[in-house]
């Protein structure tokens, strides 16, 4: 039994987690490079000049705990109060503001654990809050602080790096993408006559944008979409240039630069091919 | 003029003016500040959807109209009774109306004395219920700070002292009435500067979230 050292809820000893978190290189190793000055500077840069949305949540929340029932983490952990949405704000952003950004690396690691691994940013708490407070926005801001400090679970950081480098989440180059589309077209030809996966067809009606995993590991999805489009007689296309991946993993880290590049790229492809509609997987 | 009378004259005279100036001025200043801050953000004002916002506000103002209100029967009953009585009782109380009438010659519909008494009791009991909930409900206790107990006390004491003054209990009437006026004025002053401001912010936050959910084509109640 390991009790985490959370200095900020020392007086609530019965609420402390009884289980040690899973080890993660992204959290355990990155905090070793943090300095108090760096942490303070980052926190002040993100939430120092209070924006209207942060200010409203902080000034309105009456700590009533009515959001707790909304959270699947709270419900599936035997109503442990530390999983309630408001408790997540209390353990992260309220504490940062109370200590004016002067927190240690261990605290940032706990924040990263809370906002990345115990919250799905699903907005259900906003549906249960009597004031409709945007709690997930606050969680997102804490995620941004953790991201800027580099304290992010390894897998999420890897996906973000993939997006930043190749603009898709599976490290797929443009050659691989085109190749995948072409051999899938050949394969599909075995079942359907004249079936096509049109690449870069200008003026098409629909542009289909898959998830990164589909051309990489779930190729049967591409196959099925091609067959559906063929039978339905839809005038469709897929982009031949980068930015075909409609997933946006950078958004979950609040990596603003990469998430804007992805969305801008998708729309630029749409404008280039003058398509009328975008069809996204999921 | 004895000591008590001079204090009474102060809390009844100049301090009332100060209170209302701070309350009204502070509230307008705070709201203006927040709205002009929100104008700087790219995603607040361009996405306001008045229909969705209005629906959202109405659904959360009506008891048991939203899912979370239905899920928590006791809490919903207490909180609605508390807030209605908290706002309605001071405005429509006979004695307060007489004060308005004496000062400016204006008056309006008043509550019967007995009803007002019960409504005051409801506020007092609801405050105690909130206090008990804060201590004994784990998810609420975990997020309770001294400021939470303070704002509860700010709402509690004007009604307690008012009730005791009306029934002339514990302290002499004059002392109790001075305390009552003082606590009432503290409450009004505190509204713009503490989280009691949720009485105004409710409409702003609901407008924002109601608009968001209208854009996602779903409901937030």
State residue A207 phi and psi, 5-degree precision: -110, 125
| A44-56: burial string, b at 16+ Cβ within 10 Å, e else | eebbeeebbbbbb
- As a whole number of angstroms, the distance between CA A241 and CA A248 comes to 17
Task: Specify the pLDDT at position B220.
Answer: 85
pLDDT tens digit sequence for A114-158? 999 999 999 999 999 999 999 999 999 999 999 999 999 999 999
Distance CA B86, CA B73 (A): 20
Closest CA of chain B from A233, distance in Å: 29
What ipTM, to 2 d.p.? Answer: 0.88
Output the average pLDDT for chain A: 89
pLDDT of residue A5: 46
| Longest pairwise C-alpha distance within chain B | 67
Cα B182 to Cα B160: distance, rounded to the nearest angstrom: 12
Residue A128 to residue B213, Cβ atoms within 8 A: no
**Tally of CB atoms within 10 A around A182:** 12
pLDDT, tens digit, for every residue of A88-107?
999 999 999 999 999 989 88
Mark yes or no for CB contact B34/A74 under 8 Å. no
Tens of pLDDT, residue by residue, chain B (221 residues): 688 888 888 888 889 999 999 999 999 999 999 999 999 988 889 989 999 999 999 999 999 999 999 999 999 999 999 999 999 999 999 988 998 888 888 888 889 999 999 999 999 999 999 999 999 998 899 899 999 999 999 999 999 999 999 998 888 888 999 999 999 999 999 999 999 999 999 999 999 999 999 999 988 88
- HSE on the CB side for A112, CA within 13 Å? 30
pLDDT at A3 over 50: no
Q: Which residues of A touch B202 (CB under 8 A)?
A: 60, 130-131
Share of chain A above pLDDT 90, in %: 68
Q: Name the DSSP letter for residue A20.
A: P
Measured CA to CA, the distance from residue B173 to residue A230 in angstroms comes to 88
Taking contacts as CB-CB distances below 8 angstroms, the residues of chain B near A69 are: 68, 71-72
* Chain A residue with the nearest C-alpha to that of B70: A128
pTM of the model: 0.89
CB B188 within 8 A of CB B203: no
What are A's interface residues with B at a Cβ cutoff of 8 A? 9, 12, 15, 50-53, 55-57, 59-66, 68-70, 74, 79, 81-82, 84, 86-87, 90, 126-134
* Chain B neighbors of A74, CB-CB under 8 A: 139
Rounded-to-integer distance, Cα B209 and Cα B219, Å: 10
Residues of A in contact with B204 (CB under 8 A): 56
Lowest-confidence pick of A11-15, A62-66, B178-182: A11-15
β-bridge partners, A238: A199
| Residue A186 to chain B, least CA–CA distance (Å) | 39
Percent of chain A with pLDDT over 70: 93
A1: pLDDT strictly greater than 60: no
B28, B20, B29: which is closest to B188 by C-alpha? B20
Query: How do residues A199-213 score in pLDDT, each as one tens digit?
Result: 999 999 999 999 988
Banded model confidence at residue A2, pLDDT cuts 50, 70, 90: very low
Q: Tell me, what's the pLDDT at B4?
A: 85
* Whole-number pLDDT of residue A163: 94
What's the pLDDT band for A13 if we cut at 50, 70, 90? low
- Contacts (Cβ under 8 Å, ≥6 apart) of B207: B48, B53, B56, B57
Q: Which has the closest alpha carbon to A201: A136, A276, A281, A127?
A: A276
Distance from CA of B50 to the nearest CA of A (A): 15
Q: Beta partners for A199?
A: A238
Q: Are A169 and A159 in contact (CB under 8 A)?
A: yes
- Tell me the residue length of chain B: 221
Residue A165, classified by CB atoms within 10 Å of its CB into exposed (0-12), middle (13-18) or buried (19+), is exposed
pLDDT greater than 60 at residue A7:
no
Give the span between the Cα atoms of B220 and B58, in whole angstroms.
Answer: 11
Q: Can you tell me the distance from the alpha carbon of A278 to that of A149, in angstroms, rounded to the nearest whole number?
A: 35
Q: What is the mean pLDDT of residues A233-237?
A: 94
- Which residue of B lies nearest to A86 if distances are taken between CA atoms? B143
Interacting residues of A271 by C-beta distance below 8 A, sequence separation 6+: none
A69/B67 touch (CB, cutoff 8 Å), yes or no: no
Residue to mutate among B78, B142, B212, with most A CBs inside 10 A, is B142
Contact assessment for residue B20 and residue B183, using Cβ atoms and an 8 Å cutoff: no
Instruction: Determine contact, residues A77/B138, Cβ cutoff 8 Å.
Output: no
Instruction: Please compute, for residue A189, the number of CA atoms within 13 A of its CA located in the half-sphere on the CB side.
Output: 9
Three-class SS string for chain B? CCHHHHHHHHHHCHHHHHHHHHHHHHHHHHHHHHHHHHHHCCCCHHHCCHHHHHHHHHHHHCCCCCHHHHHCHHHHHHHHHHHHHHHHHHHHCHHHHHHHHHHHCCCCCCCCHHHHHHHHHHHHHHHHHHHHHHHHCHHHHCCCCHHHHHHHHHHHHHHHHHHHHHHCCCCCHHHHHHHHHHHHHHHHHHHHHCHHHHHHHHHHHHHHHHHHHHHCCCCCC
Using the beta-carbon criterion (under 8 Å), do A60 and B145 form an inter-chain contact?
no
């Amino acid at each position: 039994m390991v009790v985490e050292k959370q200095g900020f809820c020392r007086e609530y000893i019965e609420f402390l987690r009884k289980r040690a978190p899973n080890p993660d290189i992204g959290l355990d190793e990155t905090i070793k490079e943090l300095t108090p000055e760096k942490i303070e500077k980052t926190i002040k840069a993100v939430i120092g000049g209070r924006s209207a949305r942060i200010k409203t949540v902080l000034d309105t929340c009456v700590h009533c705990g009515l959001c707790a029932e909304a959270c699947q983490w709270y419900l599936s952990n035997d109503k442990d109060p530390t999983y309630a949405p408001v408790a997540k704000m209390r353990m992260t952003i309220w504490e940062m503001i109370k200590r004016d950004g002067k927190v240690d690396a261990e605290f940032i690691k706990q924040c990263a654990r809370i906002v990345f691994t115990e919250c799905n940013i699903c907005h259900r708490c906003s549906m249960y809050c009597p004031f409709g407070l945007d709690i997930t926005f606050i969680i997102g801001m804490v995620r941004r602080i953790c991201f800027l400090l580099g304290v992010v679970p390894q897998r999420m950081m890897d996906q973000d790096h993939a997006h930043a480098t190749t603009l898709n989440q599976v490290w797929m180059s443009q050659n691989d993408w085109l190749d995948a589309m072409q051999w899938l077209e050949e394969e599909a030809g075995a079942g359907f006559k004249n079936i096509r996966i049109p690449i870069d067809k200008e003026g098409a009606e629909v542009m289909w944008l898959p998830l990164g995993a589909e051309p990489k590991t779930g190729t049967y999805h591409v196959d099925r979409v091609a067959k559906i489009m063929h039978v339905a007689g839809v005038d469709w296309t897929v982009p031949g240039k980068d930015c075909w991946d409609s997933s946006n993993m950078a958004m979950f880290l609040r990596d603003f630069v990469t998430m804007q590049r992805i969305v801008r790229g998708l729309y630029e492809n749409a404008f280039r091919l003058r398509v009328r509609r975008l069809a996204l997987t999921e | 003029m004895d000591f008590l009378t001079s204090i009474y004259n102060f809390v009844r005279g100049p301090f009332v003016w100060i209170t209302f100036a701070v309350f009204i001025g502070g509230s307008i200043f705070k709201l203006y500040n927040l709205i002009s801050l929100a104008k700087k953000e790219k995603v607040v004002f361009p996405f306001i959807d008045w229909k969705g916002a209005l629906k959202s506000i109405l659904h959360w103002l009506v008891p048991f109209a939203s899912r979370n209100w239905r899920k928590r029967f006791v809490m919903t009953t207490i909180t609605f009774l508390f807030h209605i009585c908290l706002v309605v009782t001071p405005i429509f109380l006979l004695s307060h109306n007489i004060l308005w009438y004496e000062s400016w010659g204006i008056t309006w519909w008043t509550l019967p004395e007995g009803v007002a008494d019960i409504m005051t009791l409801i506020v007092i009991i609801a405050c105690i219920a909130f206090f008990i909930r804060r201590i004994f409900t784990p998810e609420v206790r975990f997020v309770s700070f001294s400021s939470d107990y303070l704002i509860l006390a700010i709402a509690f004491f004007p009604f307690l002292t008012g009730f005791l003054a009306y029934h002339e209990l514990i302290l002499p009437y004059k002392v109790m009435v001075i305390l009552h006026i003082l606590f009432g004025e503290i409450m009004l002053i505190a509204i713009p500067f503490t989280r009691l401001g949720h009485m105004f912010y409710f409409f702003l936050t609901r407008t924002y979230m109601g608009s968001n959910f209208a854009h996602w084509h779903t409901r937030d109640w």
